[in-house]
């Protein structure tokens, strides 16, 4: 999160109006010249919304397919880890510590004699839970505040902008070390709360900018001229046209939140044993890196693939929603 | 639709022959400019619209013409109350709506509608055409006989689109077709006044005429009054019964169509007219004056003193810098033909022997380029 924060905002600037200009105007213009101007636009068939166009693009994108499958698999094993492993992550046998791969234990054993395969599978649950819940919290808080600030402007907007500036100045890992070290609860909630606390300003900035872009469109003015209320303007006209960048950034952020949870757990302030987390396992395995590299390799690899999957998914969604950027 | 049919305004030279629908007096809009650090404060203002008077009669079509940046859109948005006026008064059907709030405006909203310049930005890309045209009725709780769906189809047919396309999305239509959808949306509430902000200037030339014809048809058949905004005098020529010419936030000349096109008095109107390609008005002489205006409209943040046109006017004298010319009827003008100029031109558009070229430096450049 610390280094990736500003970059997505840059990269998707202008996604608010995703693809509206990219039309077969020439073709339609030719049809228009027919008497009465009643010529049908485009081929006959189902009407195409921008979302369905995006979905059609995504289905044809192999990168999207691969990483979407990875994510589906991760979600599946976090909900039902026992579907692919019969062991328990907490059943360890010190006598087998650091043993390598063998039948029934494909990833070998870690320094405590726990089965690395089982622990890696169960670790997905923590990562996915933290990632998904933190992203939901960040997205709801950030986009509601950002959208309201962008729509109404004025003093509230200035105050919110200054507050987000303050939050951007907080170093994330240092903040985590300080804030989380005083918390004794060993659940995912303090970590999620911390991520939401530091993460919402990024989303609120994206949402604010996106709402300001969408707000300037004449269709918003047209609706206003018809007497539409502010809530109708926001919900019917602005939100649907401003949500794409928020979805993209939130998806990418989800990956970075998973990495952050692992980092905090590695540093001992996130989740602590007996919780199961890739960060804890990486931390525990690093002293034995010479004797048992497999104990480090599997949770690290799982973490890297997971983070990558969400970032690539966000990228693919962004491309599909805004063909102009390609 | 036929129940609110009003007779189109008479094409009168007096302009006062119809009942007034919209009356704008001293309309002013200054956009504040903020600056300064660390605390932002007002450091100036864009004087986008300054003391504009304008009337539109019932069923009348009025053109509002001026170069880009002279405050036409702002005027249109003030009248439709999308912007809050800084000063002046807007009266619609005898009712003061200058500072009316959304709820107070509700009864008037349906009667004043707007058509926008950019057909790409004026339709919500996430809504179907049906939803777009239906929403005016939804917002205002109007249930036409036969249902909203039926009304949408009628409107699509009226504007020359296939009624079966109501569930398509805007991006499936061309620019001209989109503009027709915008017209259908504006008509959905049976308005009495439509402010059309350069409704064709974003369109292909071949399609412009079709859309203007559509608007003309709508105006004739439904008796809707129009304020038709354009950046040149060509587009509004056949459309408008009266024309107001705007320059840098002010109306500099206003009058019936014949006066403006054939007996213009303000130098700026002369310049605009001479920019119209091949204006062959019915009683047109072959020999037309040629005036070329160089440079841009000066900044509305610091408009020139006195007459705002003086920095580009070939007739400017000292008086023009000190005294602002009032918008008055000059002797020889018809009733309702008002001009704001101390030294008006002759009421003719005939050639004057020599072209008027307003920027000597640019003229020299042009000539030397011509020699090469
Ligand atoms: N919301 C705004 N804030 C500040 N300045 C504005 C705003 N809208 C228009 N202006 C300025 O007001 C002037 C008139 O603009 P506009 O009414 O759009 O002119 P036109 O439609 O004749 O081209 C321009 O100088 C423009 O920059
Ligand atoms: S008042 Fe003076 S500067 Fe203005 S248009 Fe007339 S002659 Fe030109
Ligand atoms: Mg304009």
pLDDT digits (tens, 9 = 90+) for B225-263: 999 999 888 888 888 999 999 999 999 999 999 999 988
Residues of chain A with CATH 1.10.3720.10: 51-325
B95 vs B361, more confident: B95
Look at the domain A51-325 and name its fold: MetI-like fold (1.10.3720)
Residue-level pLDDT at B187:
93
Q: Does A19 touch chain B (CB under 8 A)?
A: yes
Of B81, B172, B206, the CB nearest to A48: B172
User: Which ligand approaches the C-alpha of residue B341 most closely?
Assistant: 2
Q: Is the pLDDT of residue B14 over 80?
A: no
Cα A170 to the center of its chain, rounded Å: 21
- The pLDDT tens digits of the residues spanning A35-63 come to 333 334 444 445 566 677 788 888 889 99
- The pLDDT tens digits of the residues spanning B307-342 come to 999 888 888 889 999 999 999 998 888 888 999 999
Q: Is the pLDDT of residue A299 over 60?
A: yes
Q: Is the pLDDT of residue B23 over 70?
A: yes
Q: Given ligand 1 and candidates B30, B46, B49, which is best to mutate, with the most ligand atoms within 8 Å of its CB? A: B46
| Beta-bridge partners for B52 | B27
Collect all residues with Cβ–Cβ distance below 8 Å to B207 and sequence separation of at least 6. A29, A32, B174, B175, B176, B200
Q: Is the pLDDT of residue B265 over 70?
A: yes
Residue-level pLDDT at A23:
33
Q: Is the pLDDT of residue B277 over 80?
A: no
Which of A224-233, B8-17, B94-103, B112-121 has the least mean pLDDT?
B8-17
The C-alpha R_g of chain B, in whole angstroms, comes to 22
**Chain A interface disruption, residue of B76, B121, B180, most A CBs within 10 A:** B121
- Report the alpha-carbon distance of residue B124 to residue B82 in Å, rounded: 18
Helix ranges (H only) for A216-326 are 218-225, 230-232, 239-266, 278-285, 293-321
Asked if A23's CB is within 8 angstroms of B171's CB, the reply is yes
- What's the helix, strand, coil split of chain A in %, to 5? 70, 0, 25
**Residue extents of the structural domains in chain B:** 15-111+191-277+287-372
Here the ipTM equals 0.82
A130 vs A9, more confident: A130
pLDDT band at A103 (very low <50, low <70, confident <90, very high): confident
A142 burial via Cβ count (<10 Å: 0-12, 13-18, 19+): buried
pLDDT band at B366 (very low <50, low <70, confident <90, very high): low
Architecture of domain B15-111+191-277+287-372: 3-Layer(aba) Sandwich (3.40)
- Report the alpha-carbon distance of residue A94 to residue B132 in Å, rounded: 69
> Within the 267-286 window of chain B, which residues sit less than 8 Å (CB to CB) from chain A?
none
CA A196 vs CA A139, A174, A193: distances in Å: 9, 16, 5
Of A22, A25, A225, the CB nearest to B80: A225
Asked if B109's CB is within 8 angstroms of A17's CB, the reply is no
How does the average pLDDT of chain A come out, rounded?
81
Q: Is the pLDDT of residue B183 over 80?
A: yes
Which of A99-103, B10-14, B44-48, B292-296 has the least mean pLDDT?
B10-14
Which residues of chain A neighbour B140 with C-beta distances below 8 Å? 226-227
Residue-level pLDDT at B352:
63
Q: Is the pLDDT of residue B108 over 50?
A: yes
Which residues of chain B neighbour A242 with C-beta distances below 8 Å? none
Q: Which residue of B lies nearest to A36 if distances are taken between CA atoms? A: B160
Q: Is the pLDDT of residue B5 over 70?
A: no
Q: Which residue of A lies nearest to B166 if distances are taken between CA atoms? A: A47
Q: What is the mean pLDDT of residues B289-313?
A: 83
Q: Which residue of A lies nearest to B137 if distances are taken between CA atoms? A: A226
Asked if A31's CB is within 8 angstroms of B167's CB, the reply is no
Residue-level pLDDT at A289:
83
Q: What pTM did the predictor assign?
A: 0.79
Q: Does B55 touch chain A (CB under 8 A)?
A: no
Q: Is the pLDDT of residue B122 over 50?
A: yes
Q: What is the DSSP letter of A62?
A: H
3-state SS assignment for residue A145: helix
- Report the alpha-carbon distance of residue B208 to residue B102 in Å, rounded: 34
Asked if B117's CB is within 8 angstroms of A236's CB, the reply is no
- The pLDDT tens digits of the residues spanning A243-294 come to 888 988 999 999 899 889 889 988 988 888 888 889 888 888 888 888 888 8
Beta carbon pairs, A and B, within 8 Å: 127
Which atom of ligand 1 is nearest the CA belonging to B299? 25
- Report the alpha-carbon distance of residue B219 to residue B192 in Å, rounded: 10
Percentage of residues in chain B having pLDDT higher than 90: 44
Q: Are B293 and B358 in contact (CB under 8 A)?
A: yes
Enter the tokens of residue B160. 């020359």
Q: Is the pLDDT of residue A163 over 70?
A: yes
Q: Is the pLDDT of residue B221 over 60?
A: yes
């Amino acid at each position: 999160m610390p280094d990736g924060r500003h970059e997505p905002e840059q990269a998707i600037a202008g996604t608010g109006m995703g693809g509206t200009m990219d039309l077969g105007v020439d073709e339609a213009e030719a049809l228009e010249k027919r008497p009465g101007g009643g010529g049908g636009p485009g081929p006959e068939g189902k009407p195409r919304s921008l979302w369905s166009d995006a979905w059609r693009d995504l289905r044809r994108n192999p990168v999207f397919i691969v990483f979407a499958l990875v994510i589906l698999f991760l979600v599946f094993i976090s909900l039902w880890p026992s579907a692919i492993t019969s062991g328990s992550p907490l059943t360890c046998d010190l006598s087998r510590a650091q043993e390598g791969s063998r039948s029934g234990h494909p990833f070998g054993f870690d320094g405590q004699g726990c089965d690395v395969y089982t622990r890696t599978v169960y670790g997905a649950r923590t990562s996915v839970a933290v990632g998904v819940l933190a992203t939901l919290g960040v997205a709801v808080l950030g986009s509601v505040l950002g959208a309201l600030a962008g729509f109404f402007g004025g003093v509230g907007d200035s105050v919110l902008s200054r507050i987000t500036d303050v939050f951007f100045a907080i170093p994330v890992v240092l903040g985590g070390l300080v804030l989380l070290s005083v918390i004794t609860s060993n659940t995912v909630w303090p970590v999620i709360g911390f991520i939401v606390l530091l993460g919402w300003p990024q989303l609120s900035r994206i949402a604010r900018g996106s709402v300001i872009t969408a707000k300037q469109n004449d269709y918003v003015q047209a609706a206003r001229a018809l007497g539409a209320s502010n809530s109708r303007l926001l919900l019917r006209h602005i939100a649907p046209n401003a949500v794409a960048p928020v979805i993209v950034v939130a998806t990418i952020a989800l990956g970075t939140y998973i990495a952050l949870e692992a980092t905090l757990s590695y540093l001992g302030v996130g989740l602590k044993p007996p919780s199961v987390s890739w960060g804890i396992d990486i931390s525990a395995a690093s002293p034995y890196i010479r004797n048992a590299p497999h104990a480090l390799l599997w949770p690290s690899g799982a973490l890297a693939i997971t983070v990558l999957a969400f970032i690539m998914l966000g990228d693919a969604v962004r491309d599909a929603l805004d063909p102009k950027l390609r | 639709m036929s129940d609110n049919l009003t007779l189109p305004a008479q094409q009168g030279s007096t302009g006062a022959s119809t009942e007034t629908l919209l009356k704008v007096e001293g309309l002013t809009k200054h956009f504040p400019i903020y600056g300064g650090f660390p605390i932002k404060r007002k450091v100036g203002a864009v004087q986008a619209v300054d003391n504009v008077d304008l009337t539109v009669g019932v069923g009348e079509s009025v053109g509002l013409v001026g170069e880009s940046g002279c405050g036409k859109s702002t005027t249109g948005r003030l009248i439709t109350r999308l912007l809050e006026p800084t000063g002046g008064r807007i009266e619609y059907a005898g009712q003061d709506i200058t500072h009316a709030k959304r709820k107070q405006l509700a009864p008037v909203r349906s009667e004043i509608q707007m058509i926008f310049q950019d057909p790409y930005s004026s339709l919500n890309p996430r809504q179907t055409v049906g939803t777009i045209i239906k929403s005016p009725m939804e917002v205002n709780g109007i249930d036409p006989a036969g249902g909203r769906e039926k009304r949408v189809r009628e409107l699509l047919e009226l504007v020359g689109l296939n009624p079966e396309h109501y569930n398509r999305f805007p991006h499936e239509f061309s620019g001209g077709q989109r503009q027709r959808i915008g017209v259908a949306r504006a008509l959905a509430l049976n308005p009495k006044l439509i402010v059309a902000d350069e409704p064709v200037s974003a369109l292909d030339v071949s399609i412009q005429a079709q859309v203007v014809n559509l608007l003309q048809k709508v105006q004739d058949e439904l008796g809707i009054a129009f304020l038709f905004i354009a950046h040149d005098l060509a587009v509004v020529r056949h459309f408008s019964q009266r024309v107001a010419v705007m320059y840098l936030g002010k109306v500099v000349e206003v009058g019936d169509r014949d006066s403006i096109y054939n007996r213009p008095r303000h130098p700026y109107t002369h310049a605009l007219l001479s920019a119209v390609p091949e204006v062959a008005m019915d009683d047109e002489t072959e020999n037309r004056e040629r005036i070329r205006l160089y440079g841009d409209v000066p900044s509305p943040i610091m408009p020139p003193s006195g007459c705002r046109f003086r920095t580009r006017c070939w007739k400017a004298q000292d008086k023009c810098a000190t005294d602002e010319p009032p918008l008055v009827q000059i002797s020889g003008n018809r009733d309702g033909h008002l001009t704001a100029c101390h030294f008006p031109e002759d009421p003719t558009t005939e050639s004057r022997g020599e072209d008027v070229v307003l920027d000597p430096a640019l003229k020299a450049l042009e000539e030397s380029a011509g020699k090469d």
